Structure 1
Amino acid sequence: MTMKELHALFLEHPTISTDTRKITENCLFFALKGPNFNGNAFAQSALDNGAAYAIIDEEEFKTSDRFLLFEDVLATLQQLATYHRNYSKARIVSLTGSNGKTTTKELINAVISKKYDTIATKGNLNNHIGVPLTLLSIKEDTEIAIVEMGANHKKEIEFLCGIAQPDFGYITNFGKAHLEGFGGVEGVIQGKSELYDYLIGHNKYVFLNADDDIQKEKLASYTKKMGFSSSDHQYYNIKFLGADPYVAVEVEGTQIQTQLVGKYNFSNCCAAILMGKYFNVPIEDIKSAIEGYRPENNRSQLLSKNGFDIILDAYNANPTSMRAALENFDLMKAKRKTLIIGDMFELGNTAAEEHQAIADFANELQFDETYLVGENFYATKTSLNKFKSFDALKEHLMKNPLEKASMLIKGSRGMALERVLEVL
């Protein structure tokens, strides 16, 4: 079967499933493989549960014409996604970066969908499987697709660009994330810049944060670009009005009061405003879209519980985002502040150094109470309260209840620090 023939079949059955627990009637099941599973072995179950066809890559499982045999199921999914991307009329906006990708993607979608029919990456399905699935969700009437791209090593963004073939791109920032895979900060810059490399190489359009010296320098001589800045009037000017606790901005004489906590969300808002401007979304629609967006899934959520005002930012953490969150928390006005932070993952041989730096910084800020959680923070040299595990922290807090305070909770996803809410 050719890719053209598979795509024709996809148009008849435009729902993709890779999980037999989530089969929908008449979908196409792609039998992906993982370290601990072989999707081919579940293909018959997918058909039994309502899938129209199963795409497999092991001939022994082909027992009827409803099994479509290809050399490699994952490669076939990716190739089908690229074929569909070129078949559709949608323009592709891709974004990557160390911090803020998902929030920025949601804001961009909120703004652009005011004028256009859009689709966007769901959740953080931003890898070699998620990007194809996003592209395959493009419908006949989709005008713009916003595709988030994640990476933890070099050449990954380059590969994803080959699949998505973006028309536009934006990099949120270059931070200390996935240092283990990228081999250091320079590796992060090179890896994320693969999006720029693709766009420049194909004469496509670039959006940039002109307050970021790295971005500004890399794109200095490139002409197909539009940038925002809070200070450089060569670029689209957006003014930061404050963040106590919510970010407020001013653009074209219009004030926008967001529901996003922390100055670090300023540039995320600016990117959405900039793209709204480029795509001719009226400023009043940009304002209503951004003011109406409320973060979820443990991403800088502002909560109140039992007398505590809590910033819950427990979806992810790296040294750059952690420092930014602490700086923002320090600037906030509150009678009493409690900090609970957890280990940052994927830092490789820089883990000890980076956790010590954050512990030292937290100590300098002198919050009323500070708790460090996780094996890396436990190994730091500090006078702050530290616990080797969440269970150890929980035991301590059960015996020593916290005083009512404003609280920041932040850590990598694996720390699951949202569990602190259960203890308050």
Structure 2
Amino acid sequence: MITTEKLYDYYLKNPVISTDTRNITPGCIFFALRGDLFNANEFAAQAIEKGAAFAVIDEEKYAENDNFLLVEDVLSSLQELARHHRKQLNIPVIGLTGSNGKTTSKELVNAVLSERYKTFATLGNLNNHIGVPLSILSITDDVQVAVIEMGANHQKEIELLCTIAQPTHGIITNVGMAHLDGFGGFEGVKKGKAELYAYLKQTNGYTFINRDNPDLLKMSIAAGLNKLIYYGTENGNTIKGELKSSDPFIEVNWTNHETSSSVTTNLTGSYNFENILAAICIGDFFDMSPEEINTGLSKYQPKNNRSQLTKTEKNTVICDFYNANPSSMAAALKNLSVISADKKTAILGDMFELGPESRDQHELIVKQANESGLDQIIFIGKDFHTFKDSFKGIFFETPAEATQYLQENLVHDHLVLLKGSRGMKLESLLQYL
């Protein structure tokens, strides 16, 4: 069996990691991970044939020659390799988690910090027990600050990811009604996310906290944190902000005790105000000027269908269908109500992973949508369809049924909110809007 230290020697000479034979690059190291439906040990030889320098495996029968590196468990070895690499990096690492806005916050923080520093930020949503090690192993020697997103859908996951990323600074964007099934309800969500606070307390790290959020305040007090940097809308915070406008793009006024400043972003959705304040606070902590901070914020362009305002030939569409939970769905509907438009349509897809609370949470969203004064509401999915006889709206069980409706009943000159869980695949409807 190869040791972590020896594996690290191979990594230093071949610092590109792959876990997918479809993405092999010459000289990379292939880690043969297992899944419920696959065993990548079976594809290790294929990875070598495609150009991988080495393949890390945990079944001896696949070790054909010295290019195959045998370990006890491939996943554990990947995580240990990442831990070892992290210990060699003497840089600030900002660990970021939360129920909503993780990826947008990560992108905003990176956009700000990169105006002065050489940064690394988690690519896409590589934020789980595999993605975080891959992210850490992508940090090169010239990086000055890293921003690592950490996602979770059950207890102890953030705790594990902290042992890998070893953040020196941390932020929980918020806690909301997400992954309720895995966490065991909202109290479980708070307990799971607070694992980041527990790590920062243990390691004497810095924590950025939205002082307007009572849940985060209580969690920080319970954790006994002492290196706290506050942001929010009240006096006494390191960064004080004011939402000037969100119609449709967010404008923010902010102060840092010394100077007042203002910035206009390319983000829609008033719920992103707190994410912008977080990025300002972190930039200010790292000695960036207001001009640098505002430049980073104003240059950032939302993508990946998160709070992304798209003008089609027929409508203006808020593309927010990367994911959804009751908290983010409620915020999106509230935002839709404050944006100026002659006609408004909401197209909402089912929210996944809510467990026993699913029915009640879907009903709450149906009620809120009905009370929002919208011209048209379309609900899609089996969970929403349950309420077709109880509330106003157009209900479909599948996106295919909604597609047929939109083809026959064209939507023109509307502001359209398109939001649902990723598994609903609502992007298929965009071409008809």
Structures share fold, TM-score greater than 0.5 = yes
CA deviation map 1:30-86 (0-9, x unaligned): 111111111111111111111111110000001101111000000000000000000
Partner of 2:75: 74
Distance across 1 between alignment mates of 2:116 and 2:237: 27
Q: Is the contact between residue 250 and residue 256 of structure 1 (CA under 8 Å) also seen in structure 2?
A: yes
- Secondary structure of residue in 2 paired with 1:34: coil
Partner of 1:9: 10
Question: 1:188 deviation in Å?
Answer: 0.4
The residue identity in structure 2 corresponding to 1:33 is R
Distance across 1 between alignment mates of 2:412 and 2:80: 56
Distance across 2 between alignment mates of 1:257 and 1:85: 36
CA deviation map 1:230-272 (0-9, x unaligned): 1242442122212001111112321100000011000111111
Taking every aligned residue pair, what percent have the same amino acid on both sides? 46
The residue identity in structure 2 corresponding to 1:317 is A
Distance across 2 between alignment mates of 1:181 and 1:218: 20
2:397 maps to 1:388: yes
Q: Is the contact between residue 339 and residue 408 of structure 1 (CA under 8 Å) also seen in structure 2?
A: yes
Distance across 1 between alignment mates of 2:366 and 2:417: 15
Q: 2:249 aligns with which of 222, 246, 250?
A: 246
The residue identity in structure 1 corresponding to 2:109 is I
The residue identity in structure 2 corresponding to 1:401 is L
2:408 maps to 1:405: no
Distance across 2 between alignment mates of 1:405 and 1:379: 27
Q: Is the contact between residue 266 and residue 300 of structure 2 (CA under 8 Å) also seen in structure 1?
A: yes
* More moved, 401-410 vs 338-347: 401-410
TM-score (norm 1): 0.98
2:52 maps to 1:46: no
2:366 maps to 1:352: no
The residue identity in structure 2 corresponding to 1:42 is F
Q: Is the contact between residue 90 and residue 138 of structure 1 (CA under 8 Å) also seen in structure 2?
A: no
Point out where structure 2 has 5 or more consecutive residues left out of the alignment. Answer: none
Distance across 2 between alignment mates of 1:234 and 1:301: 30
Partner of 2:336: 329
Q: Is the contact between residue 238 and residue 281 of structure 2 (CA under 8 Å) also seen in structure 1?
A: no
Distance across 2 between alignment mates of 1:137 and 1:90: 14
Partner of 1:99: 100
- Secondary structure of residue in 2 paired with 1:68: strand
Alignment of 1:216-365 (within 5 A): 216-220=217-221, 222-252=225-255, 253-365=260-372
* More moved, 239-248 vs 69-78: 239-248
- Secondary structure of residue in 2 paired with 1:376: helix
2:118 maps to 1:111: no
Distance across 2 between alignment mates of 1:334 and 1:81: 49
Distance across 1 between alignment mates of 2:309 and 2:412: 18
CA deviation map 1:176-205 (0-9, x unaligned): 000010110000010011100111122111
Alignment of 1:82-231 (within 5 A): 82-220=83-221, 222-231=225-234
Distance across 2 between alignment mates of 1:196 and 1:219: 7
- Secondary structure of residue in 2 paired with 1:41: helix
The residue identity in structure 1 corresponding to 2:431 is E
* Residues matched between the structures, number: 424
Question: 1:223 deviation in Å?
Answer: 2.3
Question: 1:359 deviation in Å?
Answer: 0.3
- Poorly superposed stretches of 4+, deviation over 6 Å: none
Q: Is the contact between residue 210 and residue 235 of structure 1 (CA under 8 Å) also seen in structure 2?
A: no
The residue identity in structure 2 corresponding to 1:40 is N
Q: Is the contact between residue 93 and residue 166 of structure 2 (CA under 8 Å) also seen in structure 1?
A: yes
The residue identity in structure 2 corresponding to 1:231 is E
Distance across 1 between alignment mates of 2:106 and 2:362: 29
Partner of 2:57: 56
The residue identity in structure 2 corresponding to 1:373 is I
The residue identity in structure 1 corresponding to 2:293 is I
Distance across 1 between alignment mates of 2:319 and 2:406: 18
- Secondary structure of residue in 2 paired with 1:280: coil
Question: 1:92 deviation in Å?
Answer: 1.1
Question: 1:4 deviation in Å?
Answer: 1.4
Distance across 2 between alignment mates of 1:144 and 1:235: 21
Partner of 1:34: 35
The residue identity in structure 1 corresponding to 2:253 is E
